[in-house]
């Protein structure tokens, strides 16, 4: 059988979103329950800033930079970047952040002999090197392409071409999974098979990706 690969975005696809872990954030930071009310794709009526990002009026990085500043002020601190937010909110609990559906899909793919790759715009920028090193299952990935270092952000075609080059596989042997529409459009532009990951229905998204790879 031809070698195949599952290529995953990290934040939101491999990890639970920060929207889904408000309870962990509040507990960790000592904030009253219900302090964090913005829910992004889970309830866009609570989050006009998210809507603006989806309309591409602001970037994903701009969105999270603003949220980091807001939450930092809630605890009386100045948080200059997303990395500070993630580290303070849940950096010590990497296991709690792993999406259970991601764990199942990654293990199933690995057991089936598929290659695994991460293609992220901000893995170490947002999460930090130490978080990544102790993140469950990270050692199962054959390739990690992180724009923190490459400076090539999805949906730039070069980002997709780089991960394919490092995998050493033709694009038709791979499936790329991402929760941001603009990144899916980038994959479509270079002819890379893809699944637009729905963070509100993760099991269905992973099932579709694995089915496309013959599992």
For 61-116, the DSSP string reads HHHHHHHHHHHHHHTT----SHHHHHHHHHTT-HHHHB-HHHHHHHHHHHHTT-EE
Domains and CATH numbers, the chain: 5-16+98-212 (3.40.50.1000), 22-94 (no CATH)
How many other β-carbons are positioned within 10 Å of the β-carbon of residue 23? 11
The pLDDT of residue 91 is 59
DSSP 157-196: HHHHHHHHHHHT--GGGEEEEES-HHHHHHHHHTT--EEE
**Tokens encoding 176:** 């790329």
What is the spatial distance between Cα 169 and Cα 191, in angstroms, rounded to a whole number? 13
d(CA 154, CA 185): 10
Confidence band of 131 (pLDDT split at 50, 70, 90): confident
Q: Which pLDDT tens digit goes with each residue over 105-124? A: 999 999 999 999 999 998 99
What is the distance between the alpha carbons of residues 4 and 171, in angstroms, rounded to a whole number? 9
Which residue is associated with the tokens 């290659």? 115
Work out the average pLDDT over 17-21.
93
Minimum mean pLDDT among 41-50, 128-137, 176-185: which range?
Answer: 128-137
What mean pLDDT is reported for the chain?
94
Res 127: pLDDT = 84
pLDDT category of residue 92 using cuts at 50, 70 and 90: low
Q: Are 117 and 4 in contact (CB under 8 A)?
A: no
Cα–Cα distance between 74 and 70 in angstroms, integer? 6
Length of the chain: 215
């Amino acid at each position: 059988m031809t070698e195949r690969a599952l290529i995953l975005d990290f934040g939101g696809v491999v990890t639970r979103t920060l929207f889904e872990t408000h309870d962990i954030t509040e507990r960790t930071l000592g904030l009253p329950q219900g302090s964090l009310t913005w829910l992004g794709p889970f309830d866009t009526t609570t989050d006009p800033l998210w809507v603006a990002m989806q309309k591409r009026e602001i970037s994903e990085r701009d969105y999270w930079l603003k949220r980091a500043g807001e939450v930092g002020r809630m605890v009386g601190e100045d948080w200059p970047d997303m990395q500070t937010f993630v580290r303070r909110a849940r950096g010590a609990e990497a296991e709690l952040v792993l999406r259970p559906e991601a764990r199942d899909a990654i293990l199933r793919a690995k057991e089936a002999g598929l290659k695994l790759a991460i293609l992220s715009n901000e893995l170490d920028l947002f999460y930090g090197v130490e978080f990544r090193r102790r993140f469950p299952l990270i050692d199962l990935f054959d390739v990690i392409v992180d724009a923190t270092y490459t400076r090539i952000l999805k949906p730039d075609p070069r980002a997709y071409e780089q991960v394919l080059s490092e995998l050493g596989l033709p694009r038709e042997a791979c499936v790329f999974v991402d929760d941001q529409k603009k990144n899916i459009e980038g994959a479509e532009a270079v002819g890379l098979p893809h699944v637009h990951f729905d963070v509100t229905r993760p099991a269905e998204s992973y099932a579709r990706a694995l089915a496309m790879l013959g599992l």
